[in-house]
Each structure stands twice: as structure tokens, then as C-alpha cells.
Structure 1
């Protein structure tokens, strides 16, 4: 853990006092030596002067000064950047269930691979995240409103069914509406929790009452980024009503949606890549970096050194330093 700043750096002014004490100790040692030398020729010197001590007599004062320095650092409030679980956030997982998702360019099929990865994503999110689920083909359906109940989400993911067409814009609108409704319910003095849409699709928008790019701009206006996952390959093929049809992924549209909304674009051409994308999103969404107090180690070490200084003084000099 590396330090990133101090909450009250003005406490470092105490180091001036610590330096003054160190200088005073050196001066007093020299004065004591001179006074002792004045009696160097007296026969009784050995009887009235303490026996010559070695360097170890300076160890307790040195330890005490170091302890003061460490405790001063602790008072200055050192902070460190630490990854902590989010205790409130809303995520809408939006999954494409158009017929192109039955393509087998990703084994065993795009849909089955997506279901496995999505369930793993849901199970791996930190407990404080409210997760909702939307499926979309020719229309968008809110399967699960935002909730911390992961079983409801994973159960609905297992039940995803394919249908014709791809209404990407309507799916985004539905996700924004679900987030807004949930935020009004749980939002308190701090306002609604931060939110994000995770959109996973494999093809171009074909239908809908709201264009995907316009919906992405709406998301930007309300501060909800869209993380887009373009899933599949250029070689995807499906058979629809006895006819073979190419279903290549539409990376460009997904990149633009992410850009317009202020989110990120991810490309996944295999089940393993999709799993890694979801793991990355889980880290980004489930955790946040905060400046946390890092003074405890300094207090502990300073206290230990202070106690050692006292113990050393009592052992070597039969007095406190």
C-alpha cells in the first residue's frame, strides 16, 4: 500500500520540535562531557563519576526520537488509495435475444455462451449492487427489476428465448426507465445510486421506436454510461426459415453507442473472451477506489519504538530517557 497524501500535513511542523529535542540532547551530552573532564586529575574521579558507558546509552533516546517522528506522520493523517466494495449502485444487464444469437461461431452457441458468462457476472457482483435484467429482440422486456437477489437474475437468464429482429434503441430506453424508477424508490438524501447499463448484442439494430444512437445520447444526458459488448465473429451464420443467413457482429455501432453515452466498448469473439470482459466489468462496477486512513501502522510502530526506548533506558541507565 503506497501513500497518496496526508489529511492534515500541518502536523509535520512538530518535526521542528523533534529536531530541537535531538539538538538539545547532543548539546547536553557535550556539556556533560566537559564537566566530567574538569575532574580528570582528582584521585576520587573513579568513585564519584559513573563508569564509562558505550554507544548503547544513546540507543533509547534515538529510539524515542524515531518514535516521535513516526507518531508525527500518523498525526498528519496519511491516506492510501484502496479498492472497496460499492455499497450502492444500479446495473441493468441488457442481453440481445435475436435469432442471430443461435449462431454457432461461438461454441456451443452465442446465446448459450452468453448465458453462462452473464450468470457468472451476476453471481460475482458485490452484494451491494442492485442488478436488473432486460432481454430484447423485436421489443425489449424487463425480466427483472434492479434487485440484490441474484437468484432471480440467474433464473431469468436461464429462461432467455430467441425471437426475430433487434430493437437496440428500445432496449436502452427500457434500461434507463428501469433505472429511473428504481432510483426514485431508493434515492434518499444522497440521491439515486450511481448506475450503468451493460449492453451485450451481436448484430445491427433492425427495428424500434427509438434509434440506438439517440438513446445513447439520452443516457449521456442523465449520467448513465453504457458498457457495450460486441459478441461474436464476422463468420456467424444462422438458418432462418430454411435459408442460410450471415450474421456478422456490428462492432462499429457498439463503439458509437459506448462513445455517445460516455461508456466503454468491449469486443468478445469467444466464450472465454466474453468471460474476461464480464470479469473486467465486475471489477469496475462492484468496486470503487477511495482514499482511506493509513495511519494505523505508523501509530503502532511509533508506540512500539517508544516502549522499547523506555525499556532500554531503564535497563542501561536505570532511568527514563
Structure 2
């Protein structure tokens, strides 16, 4: 049972304890109503003013309300409340896959698409946990492994300096080559402490449509079979152009096909039209890959909070009326 995006209950059946708490609240209200009618029936108002000292009437209700709140808190505690908590991953494999087709020379992103992509990928790799295997794959007409997936992040960053433009856009081959790197890294890494395979993720940046090699559909099917999500970044604007053989050629971004690849593999499709937006996208991906969500039991906190509220009710009752509620 989920109460909100962060809080859930492991044993919601215990919430039935709220029923007697509600009945107790109703009984209190009924008792207060009867008390008022009784006082008016058997005493005149001038006599009541002489017999009952003047004090704020709301004080009479504060201890009771606090006590009821404490009962509510203890009822929720019995249902074992839990919250989602982000925990850093100790190990994972991340393949940074970069499009180096001629369209990446477009200057609609300053200073050009490829340079901005290289700088953002460098920051992305630098921010990944030390225990992560990181590899770099570049693709134009074919795909090339520039850095094998290892914990040597400096080698992966250095590989980004070797990105060179080429003709064609083999997105499918880029994914398949990245999957091969994931498999090789997985065989070397073994399993996690839980006995599960080391999780992997492919982060693919491109600005165009698949024009060579394996189809995107074939690559997506292979990624699904390997249980490796592919998050895509559609990079550039609709107005990008490059000069090829003396002719100006428009190179708009094909975001729909990249989004389809991400959706089919369980990844996330992103779009970035500026270097700052690309930095933000990589930061979001870094957070999603670097952490996993675990549920943390917060029952002791609810019990402690409820006890404090109950003790506050007792303290106020003693201070104001010299008795416990």
C-alpha cells in the first residue's frame, strides 16, 4: 500500500487499529457535548462564572487531541512504514556510445556537436563511482571500441580524445558492439554480493537516423535479451547543417527513433539542444545509474514520535490541570 511516492506500508492490515482510535475520538466529542448540556441544565450562567475559573477553553482539549494523535502514530507504526532510499551502487558496467558521423560536425551547438559531446561525456565518466566498469564505443559507418569496459576511468576519458568523424550512422552496430563489451566486462566482474549479475547500462548519444549496419530493431531485441537498458540522447537542433563535398546538408535530429530504442530496451530517451542541457542530461543519467532504490523501515521513528506526542500530552495536562489526561 503506497501512501505517497516515498512512503509505503509493509503490513497495511494493522491500519484497522485506527478504527478504535476513531471511535475514541467520537466518544470524546459526545462526552464533551453531554458535559456542556449538563452544566447548563443544573446551574445558572452567573453561578457557572463564579464556580468555574476563567481560562482558555481550548486548553481542555489539547491533551486529548495530542493523545489521539499518538494513538494514530502507533497504529501506523504497527503497519510498518517504509520509505524509498537511494543507495550508491558498488559496481556496474556503463558503456558510453558516441555517434561520430559527419553530422556531428554541425555548429548549431557551440562550438560543435562533437566537441560539446566529448566534454559532457568526460564530466559524466568522471562523476561515476570508482568501482564502475566504463567503456567507450564510437560509431559512424561501423562501430569501434575505443576503450574496453574496465574500472580505469582515466583510460575511458582519454579514449574520448580519439573520437574522429566518419561517414554513415550505424546506431544498431553501436548498440551491438556495446553489448559485447558489457558481456566481456560481466564475465570478468562476476556477480554482486547478492549473487546477481553486475548491472549494466548503455548511454548512447546520436543526432541522426540509422543508415548503416544492423537495424535499430535488431539492436533493441539484443539489448532486451541481454537485459541491458539503452538510454539515448538526441543531441542537436532541427536547424543543424554541415558542409559535405561543398554542399550544405541539413542534419536535423531524429529524436523519435532514438526514443523508440530507449523505450524498447527499458532505458530513458533524452533530448538536448545545448551544451548545458547535455550536461544536465548526463547528470540525470549518472544519478539513475549510480544509485539503486531500497526500502528502509522507519517503524522505530514512528514509535518514538508517537511516544513523544503522548508524553507532551501528559506534561501539558499536568501543567494546566494537575492531572494526567
TM-score, normalising length from structure 2?
A: 0.72
CA 1:93 to 1:15, structure 2 compared with 1: closer, same or farther past 3 Å? same
Residue in 2 that maps onto 1:69: 72
Query: Which residue is 2:220 aligned to?
Result: 216
- Find the partner of 2:163 among 157, 160, 163: 160
1:8 aligns to what? 11
Residue 250 to residue 75, structure 1, CA distance change in 2 (3 Å): same
SS at match of 2:307: helix
Q: Which residue of 2 aligns with 1:144?
A: 147
Cα displacement (A) at 1:70: 1.7
2:274 counterpart residue number = 270
How far does the alpha carbon of each residue in 1:198-228 deviate from its partner, in whole angstroms, 9 at most, with x for none? 21123444544x4443222211222223222
Structure 1 unaligned segments of length 5 or more: list them.
Answer: 35-50
Aligned match of 1:200:
205
Q: 1:79 aligns with which of 72, 79, 82?
A: 82
The CA distance in 1 between the partners of 2:18 and 2:266, in whole Å, is: 47
Distance change (3 Å), C-alpha of 1:62 and 1:274: closer
**Aligned runs of 1:215-254 on 2, under 5 Å?**
215-233=219-237, 234-239=239-244, 243-244=246-247, 246=249, 248-249=251-252, 251=254, 253-254=257-258
Structure 1 position 111 matched with structure 2 position 114: yes
Query: What is the RMSD of the two structures over their aligned residues, measured on CA atoms?
Result: 4.1
Task: Give the CA deviation at 1:72.
Answer: 2.2
DSSP-derived class of the 1:309 partner: helix
Change (3 A) 1:75 1:112: same
Contact 1:91–1:196 under 8 Å retained in 2: yes
Residues 100 and 238, structure 1, Cα contact 8 Å, conserved in 2:
no
By how many angstroms is 1:112 displaced?
A: 0.6
Matches within 5 A, 1:41-56: none
Contact 1:196 1:226 in 2 (8 A): yes
**8 Å CA contact 2:150, 2:185 repeated in 1:** no
Q: How does the TM-score come out when normalised to structure 1? A: 0.72
The number of equivalent residue pairs is 304
3-state SS in 1 of match to 2:196: coil
Query: For the Cα contact (< 8 Å) 1:204–1:249, is it kept in 2?
Result: no
